Amino acid sequence: MQPRIPLVGTVLAGALLTASLAASPTALAASSAPAPAVLLSPAGCWNARATEGDMPPADVKLEFRTDRSVELIGPPDENGNPYFVGHGTWTPGWSGSFRFTIEHPLPGGPPGEARSALNGKLSSSKAFTANGRTHYFYDDGTTGGPSSITITGTRASCS
């Protein structure tokens, strides 16, 4: 014969949980606990700093759109206009990870295009870091790279 005490304790715990949820059905919804990392998304606008190869860091803006496209606005020139605008795509991953690619014209120097592939990770809903590689494709048919690239970003309002 099994003792009944553990069963009574389980039934009592279940009854208390049911009663507390019935008394306050929004108790779980109103919790101030942070959202699980699985729900984090880079969708939105970001102020970021990009460091590529041996070049000095550059302040850029990124917009990860809900249609999974990305726009990169390069650092401003002496007139306040961006040196370049790049485009790409992004794919979400688990626990705040994501992958994105960017292609943009090369500023200055020989004409061509930079193509970067990066793996990113949100450290919160307001910050991310991404690392990857950039390859260079010049209009004369030559190539360069890869060089390493790191981007850190903080969420900004889209304007």
Q: Is the entire prediction scored with pTM above 0.75?
A: no
Q: What type of residue sits at position 114?
A: A
> Would you call 104 exposed, middle or buried from its count of C-beta atoms within 10 A (0-12, 13-18, 19+)?
buried
Q: Measured between alpha carbons, how far is 126 from 45 in angstroms, rounded to an integer?
A: 10
How do residues 72-131 score in pLDDT, each as one tens digit? 999 988 999 999 999 999 999 999 999 999 999 998 878 999 999 999 999 999 999 999
Better-scored residue on pLDDT, 15 or 138: 138
